[in-house]
Amino acid sequence: MMNRNQYEIVVVGAGQGGGPLAGAAARGGRRTALIERVHVGGTCVNEGCSPTKTMVASARVAHLVRRAADYGVHATAPRIDLARVHERKQQIVDSFRDGSERSLIQAGVDVIRGRARFVGPRTLDVDVGDGARRTITADTIVINTGLRAAIPSIPGLDTARYLTSTSIMELVDVPAHLVVLGGGYIGLEFAQMFRRFGSRVTVLQRGAQLLDHEDTDVADAVATILRDEGIEVLLGTTVTAVEQRAAETLVRYSTTSVEGATPGTVSGTHLLVASGRRPNTDDLGLDAAGIVVDDRGYIRVDDRLATNVPGVFVIGDAKGGPAFTHISYDDFRILRANLLEGGSWTTGGRQVPYTVFIDPELGRIGMTEKEARTAGLTVRVGTLPMSSVARALETDETRGFMKAIVDAGTQRILGAAVLGIAGGEIATIVQVAMLGGLPYTALRDGIFSHPTVAEALNNLFTAMDRAV
């Protein structure tokens, strides 16, 4: 008789890599289980990509209504029904989540609800609720437990009311004044969203610029866009204390400048902590399995996503590196190839595109100018303001600019940033050229439909001819 607790493949965590891998394994005839303690679909479906971009879309509609007169259309000021925004968001989430779970069950995956902990190298103890437990063993275990909001150690924060990127999406009333700790892509998306919903918004960023990975000119342009929409952006600030005062939360900070440190305070009705993420690995019992983690709790893997323990792999954010859904999905493809199809895929050399879904979008691929020059490469850098793009002028979406970095010797494109209308889509076109190893002249001389934003690539890369 088959042991109901013995599997060929067990996936811990039903994120955007784990779910597809479990489904593929089951369809391939492997006895497969997926253990999930909360929701199928992981962060992307439940608390990340899908719900936030649904709410971003609602905020953009409010923004366009306020701008209607710019287009010769007269409309009354928008009235924000945040409860309806929340309802629409939840409908999308529920639809995607339910569809993912149905797909797994139809594939033959044993979906187990519970909290899993290692009690040996390939043995898991699963708390399935109501005092019941299961001991599950597998030939192969794949960890896909993702990240959660990291709460910084700030005096007073533990006794104050604060929101995370998950709980802020459950609001049904628009905050009067939202204070955001953190100027990364999560903080900025929510800052602009709630400003457009009608909140006063203040962003406190520890670094000297927003989006600290980006080139300074890109980060400065993003800050200008946000400030133009009425968002207060404070750079170089270190939060020193938080104090809950009845209905308001007081944030004390220190701003560093060439003159020294200057203390300041800001008081908001709501506080969003968006200053980082941490891996969901601290309650997995990794020590019992002998699985090695780094000093931040990320699980160490090789370029085939294998841990130091034979038969145990990691996909998605728990291993560190770029925390993007599309990277998690590529991790799935690597393990599908290697575990199910006898392949030998690795993470080596893969591209990491991403889009920051502020409005206008910031699409990114490849190296920044700063990274290229730090690497000692001889580069050409070309830029093109969106105000020089016909389609942007016609739609009155002229904020931002395009930027590309090219290797001066090989003429190959090293990277690009597109801050503007359809920024993520245009950056993807550049990425496709990079995937094909094309010289920049292919985009300079290509014929693109008029009038589209994409045709501006002709002018961007023509500028490269005279760039230094």
pLDDT the model gives residue 439: 97
Please enumerate in sequence order all residues whose Cβ is within 8 A of that of 412, keeping only pairs 6 or more positions apart, or say none. Answer: 406, 434, 437, 438, 439, 440
Between CA 444 and CA 439 the distance in angstroms is 9
Long-range Cβ contacts of 119-126 (<8 Å, 24+ apart): 119/285, 119/288, 120/288, 120/289, 121/289, 121/290, 121/309, 121/310, 121/311, 121/312, 122/289, 122/309, 122/311, 122/312, 123/289, 124/10, 124/12, 124/35, 125/285, 126/35
The type of residue at 31 is R
pLDDT the model gives residue 80: 98
pLDDT the model gives residue 468: 63
Upper half-sphere CA count for residue 48 (Cβ side, 13 Å) = 21
pLDDT the model gives residue 350: 95
pLDDT the model gives residue 166: 96
Is residue 39 flagged as an active site residue? no
Between CA 363 and CA 270 the distance in angstroms is 30
Long-range Cβ contacts of 43-50 (<8 Å, 24+ apart): 43/15, 43/146, 43/147, 43/317, 44/15, 44/16, 44/325, 44/328, 45/16, 45/93, 45/96, 45/97, 45/100, 46/93, 46/97, 47/165, 47/166, 47/169, 48/165, 48/325, 49/325, 50/92, 50/93, 50/96
pTM of the model: 0.95
Question: Would you write out the chain's pLDDT as a tens digit for each of its 468 residues?
Answer: 458 899 999 999 999 999 999 999 999 999 999 999 988 888 889 989 999 999 999 999 999 999 999 999 999 999 999 999 999 999 999 999 999 999 999 999 999 999 999 999 999 999 999 999 999 999 999 999 999 999 999 999 999 999 999 999 999 999 999 999 999 999 999 999 999 999 999 999 999 999 999 999 999 999 999 999 999 999 999 999 999 999 999 999 999 877 788 999 999 999 999 999 999 999 999 999 999 999 999 999 999 999 999 999 999 999 999 999 999 999 999 999 999 999 999 999 999 999 999 999 999 999 999 999 999 999 999 999 999 999 999 999 999 999 999 999 999 999 999 999 999 999 999 999 999 999 999 999 999 999 999 999 999 999 888 776
pLDDT the model gives residue 1: 46
Exactly one of 86, 177, 270, 450 is catalytic; which is it?
A: 450
